[in-house]
Amino acid sequence: MSAPSAVPDVPLAPRLLPAGSYAGRARMLLLRSATASRRTWLAFVSGFFEPIFYLLAMGQGLGSLVGELPGPGGASLSYAAFIAPGLLAASAMNGAVFDSTYNVFFKLRYARLYDAMLATPLGPIDIALGEIGWALLRGGLYATGFLSVMAAFGLIASPWALLALPAALVVAFAFGAIGMAATSFMRSWQDFDLVTLAVLPMFLFATTFYPLSVYPRWLQLVVECLPLYHAVELMRALTTGAVHLGLLSHLGYFAVMIAVGVVLASRRLDALLLK
Q: Domain coordinates of the chain in residue numbers?
A: 29-273
Q: What is the pTM of this model?
A: 0.83
The confidence score (pLDDT) of residue 112 equals: 81
CA 233, chain centre distance (Å): 14
Question: Taking the chain, what is the end-to-end CA distance rounded to the nearest angstrom?
Answer: 43
CA-CA distance, 202 to 204, in Å (whole number)? 5
DSSP code of residue 130: H
The confidence score (pLDDT) of residue 15 equals: 47
The confidence score (pLDDT) of residue 262 equals: 86
State pLDDT tens for residues 15-30: 455 545 655 677 787 7
- Please list the ranges in the chain whose pLDDT falls under 70: 1-24, 40-48, 64, 274-275
Among candidates 78, 80, 93, which has minimal Cα distance to 52?
80
